[in-house]
Amino acid sequence: MKTFIPALKFEKLTGFYDKIMHLTMPEKAFKNALIEQARIKSGDHILDFGCGTLTLSLMMKQQCLEAFITGIDVDEKVLTIAENKRTDSGFEIRLDKYDGKFLPYSDETFDKVVSSLVFHHLTTVQKKQAIREIYRILKPDGEIHIADWGKPSNLLMEALFFFLRLFDGFENTSVNWKGELLNYLTGNGFKYTIECKKYDTLFGTLRLLKARK
């Protein structure tokens, strides 16, 4: 039995992920905003947590060739797509498989962790575990930058997010829905937690968050 939710919930849809993202979400805009927010610089060690098909990692590398980018994901199938995209790009990006519990890195390895549309796939227990692990592998003063669904900004967003929750699951999306993700970061030791930007989309309100170790 799978202990994770694949990119589009059903394994058979994983191959269509990039197309569907491109057609239904302001993908370039919010991923660029997340990258801008992370202010990546030469020599930075960056982890793309739940890298999926690697789009965000490739965009980061394109914008800062001298940064060291690592992508990690739990899903073998999505990692195969990521590997193919990495090969086509010719970029040097490290790809790792996550067991869903412990990040395979020593304490204080990364300057920044970025994560897009991943936390709503995690149960509450998995969210806490992931945040603890991310905190551990960040250097002192390291930062986490998250783009994920948050509290709906109006009734229309509430209704649209309801359908996404129906699809992706009510338990794993409830912390997002209540707007509690920032509290989870603070509760696990992060400081200076703030929301930087929001986008109202076809699936609900996407919020860009930031915190520091």
Ligand X SMILES: C[S@@+](CC[C@H](N)C(=O)[O-])C[C@H]1O[C@@H](n2cnc3c(N)ncnc32)[C@H](O)[C@@H]1O
**Binding-site ranges for ligand X (CB under 6 A):** 4-7, 21, 50-52, 55-56, 73-75, 78, 98, 100, 116-118, 121-122, 126
Residue nearest to ligand X (CB): 52
CB of 142 to ligand X, least distance (A): 18
* Pairing mode of beta strands 191-201, 204-212: antiparallel
DSSP for 21-76, written as a single string:
HHHHS-HHHHHHHHHHHHT--TT-EEEEET-TTSHHHHHHHHH-TTSEEEEEES-H
Please state, in angstroms and as integers, the Cα–Cα distance from residue 119 to each residue in 17, 132, 173, 206, following that order. Answer: 17, 13, 8, 12
Based on CB atoms, which residue is closest to ligand X, 51 or 211? 51
- The tokens 């603890």 sit on which residue? 132
- The tokens 């992508």 sit on which residue? 71
| Nearest-angstrom CA–CA distance, 76 and 87 | 16
CB of 117 to ligand X, least distance (A): 4
Based on CB atoms, which residue is closest to ligand X, 45 or 53? 53
CB of 61 to ligand X, least distance (A): 15
CB of 4 to ligand X, least distance (A): 4
Based on CB atoms, which residue is closest to ligand X, 39 or 101? 101
Based on CB atoms, which residue is closest to ligand X, 43 or 100? 100
